[in-house]
Structure 1
Amino acid sequence: MMHHHLILRVVTKMLVAPIILFALYVQFHGDFSPGGGFQAGVIMAVGFILYGIVYGMENVQAVLPAWLAHKMMALGVLIYAGTGVVALFLGYDFLDYGSFSPQHPSHGQHWGIFAVEFGVLVTVTGVMISIYYAFASRRPAISDEEW
């Protein structure tokens, strides 16, 4: 590993964990304040993208391989759709969150919204990281010496 940009590497290591923690905060408080799954997913992806920009593709893909990012995209959609399918199997309308707690529909609303927003978080994180991997993995058409 190269030993230049020491300050940038140290600051990045200090920032990645708070970025991911802030993404979880936005996720869990999305129904009480602005935010939710999409915003949390983008913020979560930013932590990995920042790590990849500073430390390189090999290091970030050691933490989150490309195949896992692709699986995250499908898993998030399955969580979202699965929430609606569970409501159907319980005899309610698709994505009728009251089905999760018929005695207290407001509790069911909370759990249903949380499940859907978690699915969005997983999908958006996977998509944003996959887009970064696709662009950052490309070989330049012109070499550095030709500039």
Structure 2
Amino acid sequence: MESEENLVSPTKFLDVKLLIRLLLILSFFIGCSDTVNSGPASISGGFEETPLVAVEIPDNAVDYTGQAEVVISIEDNVFHDRVITVSAGTNITWVNNGRNRHNVMPSLEEGESGWFLGLNEDLFDEAGSASLRFEQGGYFPYFCTFHGTATRGQTGQIFVIAG
């Protein structure tokens, strides 16, 4: 039988497990980089300001920072460009260049950070267009309800970098 001095007490073992978990969680938060500003977000048009969650900008994002106007073409069942990065204050216009009806709706629920009032009627028909101005930093995922869901199909993402 082992002597008592060679045994690890259950409380010391639990303390070590807790310490390891805390270090893993801390290293996750320290390792985050290239994140969107975590301040409040709003879009012109009377949207509520909500706190943001830090989101990593994907490598495939097309960089339009510094441009006052950006046009996203809608062709049949896809947005061109689908993932973009813009500066705060950028006006984004979606133009329906396809044969089908389209809209631009937020992928998030009302009240969540990144929610915005969707663009509906102006984009329905061919050659229709509609615009939003993103005044403050944030992450704004969206989709077309005719050709996708919030996570699949015709989706897009806007990363707004605060000035």
TM-score by length of 1: 0.26
TM-score by length of 2: 0.24
Higher relative contact order (CA 8 A, sep 6+): 1
Which structure dedicates a bigger proportion of its chain to helix? Answer: 1
Which structure's CA Rg is the greater one? 2
